[in-house]
A and B are shown apart, each in its own frame.
Chain A
């Protein structure tokens, strides 16, 4: 059955202040309801200041990176009315499209807007925290060009990468919200809200498509409605029948003159655009002569790519690339962290790579250092010291000790059970705290047992 999936993606813009006032936009360390003023609290009589120019430029930059046309006509800020505890004024302000007709990874981008974030409502306590109220958001609306959860996941990864590359969105994580529209065989369109991770997106889609298919198999119609994704149960649940646009009673906000995206503004933003991920990928392949797979892994995050370029000033690029792809990426994936969150520095990487190339550090120990940097937040310089390979004499002593302490394994080996040597090697590694050169230890064990 033919599946059509489209997205509305919201992400906070990394501006200093909120969209219509000068309260700080970064509220992460603030007590609830302290990052507010009469404007973002929507107090009676409060009027918005002019639209935050950084936020407008941010949306223009993102729209350009998504290959959109920038709208030439005046862009009105609309009031979208709905009744919810997190909305201090009973309406949310959202711009008409700033960018249109873009494309990313084969998916058409319909529109890119500027919006304000509402507050945060906790239905359990009934409390609302307005610290978030008025924080600028970019909203990206795609065409329903996606046909499977797997494609959806791949597209979202690509989109997140572009957003990160733009340098205009918050990187702290947890602020992205995705609304997904799903329909099967031109049936009714179901909107799923409350998705805030790519994993959640994938699971929600898997569930929802199965649900809709089952309904159709039983000859029942799919209702046009809004459903919520329930993260803990990995299901979607009906929220309400879908509002139509007229229920929102959109009007241009009388307190805000329309935005004008002049050609000068657009050109200035365009001239300062950062390199897009696919451009960086091509450049890395040519400049550093690394494989496409290596370049793909390294350019997955802008901070990781920047670190790679700095490391290449000290270390041979091919070796650096292998280390980035196989050791650093693996560690990040294992801990589910971005490079920026991981605490790994360029100095750490250079330290490890140099120790490895001089033979002081084994490949395994190098990986261990990176893992310890992430887990213990320690610096590579001290860890390398601890994990440097033991010298020949210490290794000999460790081999002697392993043989002496494990007579049974020695007998097994001598009786023909050759795999017993692996046990003995493990003992050597244990005794040396993993700092032995495994190949050399194995050779010593064989010589002593022959």
Chain B
């Protein structure tokens, strides 16, 4: 089965989503803007069909959707109406998806909590009073609250997987270069990927197969889209699942408990769990942030106040400003090749290590975040905030796929299992995720 089967017609499906938005959006704040043409799109989907016919999708506000504002949840771009569709959005549209609206997010995707939006924080629909995670906070929250069947997010160091874990939904960061980024507003160009968020693995896989595959941009892999849904299978006979001791050292015991139970269930379904080593894991976070600061500084130079209304430094929030200043400082000192290029070398080291670990196994399982989401409004230092990303940045640094699937709850708060695979081996990753699904 690689067709989507919705219970309702596209128009009815959209109506139901809009009703739930009507009921709870004031509380959740998952959207920055709703699509005034959603109904029109649903009618068109009814006429034309498509593999995603009538599927409602929330799009993160750093992805260009023609005619809607791609604000990046920043005052900097509050008046930027996208004049073009991102390639991923074009592909969704051509298969009959209906864009519900532009989802809230951390400002310019700089955050892991969903609290730094110029348009206000997003609530976690699955854990009241807690942060939804970020930076694709609105995308994950919209799916968790039933505001949309699925969402597009972007993941630079965990921005899809982190909120998917906290909100109890499925999120996928594909292999770097598998999904076109054209239309995705940059955080760190060498790490950013667009990916799907959905309530179940099958829907996420379907979205992925629609948006994946070669495009015209320079940094893409020259690959065909694969029919993941056709080959989805929860049969784990002979599948080797790796788990690194280093993960245990950094993860809170309660989360580790959920992950261990999940691994045992995979074993019960035929998988073999193998211990692997990732000795350089501790280098991942500093390497990641250095690359992000430098690339983000470069990416923000176009917001000079001449074309989009505001100079970014004059209107952005504290975290965005911190990254710009650090990036400016580092790249100025970079002339001697001291930082960015060294970080790229460390990145190669981490990539090698992960690929070596993956040589011994089919997938690498891991927790998604080291700790549970904090209460909304609780104040964290930047370093405490960055620590959320410890377990998600390795996949971005290595360019490998990683997906998150709900694995259980701690005191009612969702916890997601993260599954990594080798480059372009999304299929085996999805199969393991499918097997892990339904733990709740």
Contact = CB atoms under 8 A, between A and B. Distances in A.
B64 A44 contact: yes
Q: Please classify the interface of chain B as helix (H, G, I), strand (E, B), loop, or mixed, using the class held by over half of its residues.
A: loop
Contacts of A47: 180-183, 217-219
Interface string A69-102: 0000000000101010100111100000000000
B396 to A, nearest CB: 12
Given A44-B77, A47-B182, A255 B302 contact: no
A256 B331 CA distance: 18
Interface residues on A, range: 20 to 34
Interface string B67-87: 000101000010010111010
Interface residues on B, range: 35 or more
Contacts of A85: 306
A79 B302 CA distance: 13
Interface string A52-83: 00000000000000000000000000010101
A257 interface: yes
B86 A91 contact: no
A249 B332 contact: yes
A50 B294 contact: no
B31 to A, nearest CB: 19
A255 B186 CA distance: 10
Contact of A88 (B70, B185, B295, B307): B307
Contacts of A91: 298, 301
Contact of B301 (A43, A83, A250, A253): A83
B184 interface: yes
A105 interface: no
Contacts of B288: none
A255 B332 contact: no
A247 B83 CA distance: 33
B298 A249 contact: yes
Contacts of B302: 42, 44, 88-90
Interface stretch (B136-144, B259-267, B333-341): B333-341
B126 interface: no
Contact of B332 (A20, A48, A246): A246
Interface string A274-286: 0000000000000
A38 B331 CA distance: 26
Interface string B388-417: 000000000000000000000000000000
B334 A255 contact: no
A255 B84 contact: no
A234 interface: no
A46 interface: yes
B95 to A, nearest CB: 21
A100 to B, nearest CB: 19
Interface in B180-226: 180-186, 188-190, 216-219
Nearest to B216: A49
A219 interface: no
A164 B295 CA distance: 39
B182 A254 contact: no
A51 interface: yes
Interface in B57-103: 62-64, 70, 72, 77, 80, 82-84, 86
Given A45-B70, A90-B304, A251 B83 contact: no
Contacts of B77: 44
Nearest to A83: B304
B119 interface: no
B147 interface: no
A49 B218 contact: yes
A38 B332 contact: no
A245 interface: yes
Contact of A48 (B183, B217, B297): B217
A44 B306 CA distance: 14
Interface string B276-302: 000000000000000000110110111
A263 B307 CA distance: 43
Contacts of B333: 246
A236 to B, nearest CB: 28
Interface in B351-379: none
Given A46-B183, A51-B218, A246 B335 contact: yes
Contacts of A88: 302, 307
B328 interface: yes
A38 B84 contact: yes
Contacts of B298: 79, 81, 90-91, 249, 251
Given A48-B218, A81-B298, A255 B189 contact: yes
A254 B70 CA distance: 22
Given A42-B302, A91-B298, A257-B218, A249 B334 contact: yes
Nearest to A22: B216
Interface in A244-273: 245-247, 249-251, 253-257
B301 A44 contact: no
A96 B295 CA distance: 19
A107 to B, nearest CB: 28
Interface string B420-435: 0000000000000000
A44 B80 contact: yes
A251 B186 CA distance: 15
A146 to B, nearest CB: 28
Contact of A89 (B70, B188, B301): B301
Contacts of B184: 45
Contacts of B216: 49-50
A255 B307 contact: no
* Best-surrounded residue of A45, A46, A247 (most CB of chain B within 10 A): A45
Contacts of B70: 44-45
Contacts of A42: 302
A245 B306 CA distance: 25
Contact of A254 (B63, B219, B334, B335): B219
A45 B83 contact: no
Interface in B128-185: 180-185
A4 to B, nearest CB: 25
Contacts of B331: 81, 249-251
A245 B186 CA distance: 25
A251 B341 CA distance: 9
* Best-surrounded residue of A44, A250, A255 (most CB of chain B within 10 A): A44
A249 B331 CA distance: 5
B80 A254 contact: no
B334 A251 contact: yes
A251 B293 CA distance: 12
B83 A38 contact: yes
Contacts of B304: 83, 90
Contact of A45 (B183, B218, B219): B183
Given A88-B307, A257-B218, A45 B86 contact: yes
Given A38-B83, A245-B335, A249-B334, A254 B295 contact: yes
Given A44-B185, A251-B298, A257 B219 contact: yes
25 contacts: A44-B302, A45-B62, A45-B63, A45-B182, A46-B182, A48-B218, A49-B216, A81-B331, A88-B307, A90-B298, A91-B301, A246-B334, A249-B331, A249-B332, A249-B334, A250-B331, A251-B295, A251-B331, A253-B189, A254-B190, A254-B219, A255-B217, A255-B218, A255-B219, A257-B218
Interface of A: 20, 38, 42-51, 79, 81, 83, 85, 88-91, 245-247, 249-251, 253-257
Given A43-B83, A44-B72, A45-B64, 4 more contacts: A43-B64, A45-B82, A81-B301, A251-B334
9 tightest CB-CB pairs across the interface, nearest first? Answer: A90-B301, A254-B189, A254-B190, A246-B335, A249-B331, A47-B217, A45-B185, A50-B218, A44-B185
